[in-house]
Amino acid sequence: MDVADLLTSAGINISVCVVAFSLYSVLRKQPSNACVYFTRRYISETIRHDDPFSLHRFVPSAGWIMQAWRATDEEILEAGGIDAVVFMRIVVLSIRIFIIAAVICVFLVLPVNYYGKDMEHRNFRFESIDVFTIGNVEEGSKWLWAHCLALYIITCAVCVLLYLEYKSITKMRLAYITGSHPNPSHFTVLVRGIPWSQDHSYSKSVESFFSTYYPDTYVDHQMIYRPSTVHKLKKDAKKMYRILRPIETEYVRGDKPCYLCGGTAHTFKLLQNGEDSIRSQTSIDELHPTQIEKECPAAFVFFKNRYAAVVAAQVLQSSNPMLWVTQLAPEPHDVYWSNLGIPYKQVWVRKIVVLLIALAFVFVFLFPVTLVQGLTQPQVLIHWFPQIKEVLKLKFLNRLVTGYLPSVILILFLYTVPPIMMLLSRIEGNVSRSDRKKSACIKILYFTIWNVFFVNVLSGSFINQMSIFSQIKELPMMLAKQVPTQATFFTTYVLSSGWASLAFELLQLFALICNILRRFILRSKKEPTNIALTFPHHTEIPRLLLFGLLGFTLSILAPIILPFLLVYFFLAFLVYRNQILHVYVTKYESAGQFWPIVHNATIFSLVLTQVIAVAVLAMKKSPMASGCTIPLIIISLLFNEYCRKRFSQVFKRNPAQVLIEMDRRDEQWGKEEGIYNRLRSEYCQLAYISRDLTISKDFSVAGPNRQSRTDHNSPQGADENSLKQATELELRQ
């Protein structure tokens, strides 16, 4: 590929971005698209438009860009919580790193590569991309020290920036823990593997165990029930919700028994004084003997203070590690209820099965990747399809097929990966939504690094791919030979997968098409429900880290990729800030749990770059420069180990010192009683089902650390309160 081919690919992607950004600036002004582009406001308040027929609605503008640029970190925190702030800091960190890399490599390394051999250069447009890579430098040249120097500067900059960022995010996480309202998850322990007893129910076993071994700190517990039982009550709640909207004083009674509650299946009574009546009801754990089988061997156990909950969560409860397994409970809105009923003994089996399925999927994906690599080589493409030989003689079509089409095809194949990995993470048995998304993030990261980077670099037939594992010692040399030759493909991949994906992220095509179908094809007048989307960390973080890997590995080998990469990160900064402010809704908070993944992946990319540099410099017969690069590998690994010891533990467990101080503060302010009263209702399965039936969601709109913006005096708020009272009453009958 020559520079003209690269510019053709860049021109296509620039055109796509300009059209998409202009179209977005028009579509966001249409009142009918408020539920797509202003989801956060739409689900919390009525959006009014003063002049729906004004001309400015149909004129593209850059106002959204200025709004995203001027937004402060406080506004991002208000809108998306700690996780949103951490994600944006990942983007900013990438910008800082690659600004330094671009300045050093474009002005120092790129001229060395271009003039590395005594040759007559052609017109710049028709120059091959290979002349901008390290492959164009003469063997044994003293100019190879420029690459070593550039790598030293990049390594030092990355380590300093990573340290400062890790330290800052750790402080932010601790400030969130200490400064937030009392979090029910700090007082709650999830217990699984409860042993079965013929004499009494799981509930009685939990009460007996914790009242015996934690008599001073045990408060209460909440059993978890089978999903089928809860789904049955969910259907009843939906029926009752439809009744409560127009009618507020009647009740419906059915004849089918409710196995969870002991009453009838449709016994929903609307009470004038709901709270007093609910308190007087029988506890949910006092079940009829025929209903005990509906309990799962899992429960939420509540403690008097945070320190007691942490101790109970971290110690081994029984001589059999498979029984009475404890961990700190997720936040109430973070609980993944359908996985809580999975027997703990099945979890490790599920993890092994999921690992095997994921590995099989990785190897199956080698076929489309091999196909994509064939498209980048005209001779291979002609061998597969002889009939297109004449077509490829046309320069523009040749550039389109070999330069742009392979990246597009690979991107289309990669779109199937996130749903599959999310499904595997669900099967794995994660008990919280954030853990499921974190697990999917790690799987997608490994998958994309292997299939997009390693398989494309070590391209060939399927048999050749398998031979890699028998030549592990030669892997650095193989990478050193192949990475510079794949610079053109990775540059076009950044253009296609990076720039274009941001344009489609901004447009929200799936939600937009659904909205158009609902409004203009189906002519539905009902307000859309379940439109609140959480931020897709599991797809966007692996994409950022993959581009970071490409930037690191090609920074000194083929610096021409760096300007395109910087444009991607700047666009990502604007697009993601806009989406966090207006589109995505925070339902739960993991307090920056994704950051250790980012740190470890960045260190891996840096070390891989250094290993490849050592091999490349050795191949170029510059042993001194190659040997001087080896200490960088040791320094990077030692730095990573220091950060792991210094910071990473804060992301795995909460410090006892902080928790004890918070307990003492609550005791001084007299908050304990209010916290105890909240614990049981916060971890009620039906409470969250009832919230999902309405458009207004307390935590979905306000976020985990903010007060609900639902107007409980409005008809909609009254319906939600009535439904919640009815379902809680049904649950306790």
Q: Is 328 left (phi over 0), alpha (psi -120 to 50) or beta?
A: beta
**pLDDT recorded at residue 693:** 40
Tally of CA atoms within 13 A in the half-sphere of 197 that contains its CB:
13
Label residue 70 exposed, middle or buried (CB < 10 Å: 0-12, 13-18, 19+).
exposed
CB under 8 Å to 296, separation ≥6 — which residues? 202, 223, 224, 225, 226, 340, 341
The span from the CA of 98 to the CA of 455, in Å, is 25
The span from the CA of 449 to the CA of 649, in Å, is 26
**pLDDT recorded at residue 384:** 60
- Banded pLDDT at 95 (limits 50, 70, 90): very high
Q: What is the pLDDT averaged over residues 611-618?
A: 91
Distance of CA 505 to the CA centre of its chain: 14
The one-letter amino acid at 90: I
3-state secondary structure 73-109: HHHHHHHHHHHHHHHHHHHHHHHHHHHHHHHHHHHHH
Q: What is the pLDDT averaged over residues 100-125?
A: 82
The span from the CA of 310 to the CA of 67, in Å, is 42
**pLDDT recorded at residue 532:** 78
pTM, two decimals, is 0.81
Question: DSSP per residue over 31-51, as a string?
Answer: GGGHHHH-HHHHTTS----S-
User: Which residue carries 């985990």 as its tokens?
Assistant: 704
Q: Are 161 and 271 a contacting pair, CB within 8 Å?
A: no
Q: Which tops the pLDDT comparison, 426 or 671?
A: 426
User: Max CA-CA distance within the chain?
Assistant: 92
Q: What is the pLDDT averaged over residues 644-667?
A: 88
**pLDDT recorded at residue 652:** 86
The span from the CA of 68 to the CA of 369, in Å, is 36
CB under 8 Å to 700, separation ≥6 — which residues? 43, 532, 585, 586, 587
User: What's the alpha-carbon Rg for the chain, to the nearest Å?
Assistant: 29
User: Which residue carries 């700090």 as its tokens?
Assistant: 186
Q: Is 190 helix (H, G, I), strand (E, B) or coil?
A: strand
Q: What is the pLDDT of residues 336-346, one digit of tens each?
A: 888 888 888 88
DSSP conformation class of 415: T
Q: Residue 297: which H helix or E strand, with range?
A: strand 295-303
**Does 673 score more than 80 pLDDT?**
no
The span from the CA of 32 to the CA of 511, in Å, is 12
554: nearest Cα among 484, 622, 636: 484
Q: What is the pLDDT of residues 317-365, one digit of tens each?
A: 989 989 999 999 998 888 988 888 888 888 989 999 999 999 888 888 8
Structural tokens at position 342: 């999975």
Q: Are 546 and 498 a contacting pair, CB within 8 Å?
A: no
Mean confidence (pLDDT) of the chain: 78
The span from the CA of 606 to the CA of 552, in Å, is 6
Report for 37-46, 374-383, 720-729: range of highest mean pLDDT: 37-46
- Banded pLDDT at 709 (limits 50, 70, 90): very low
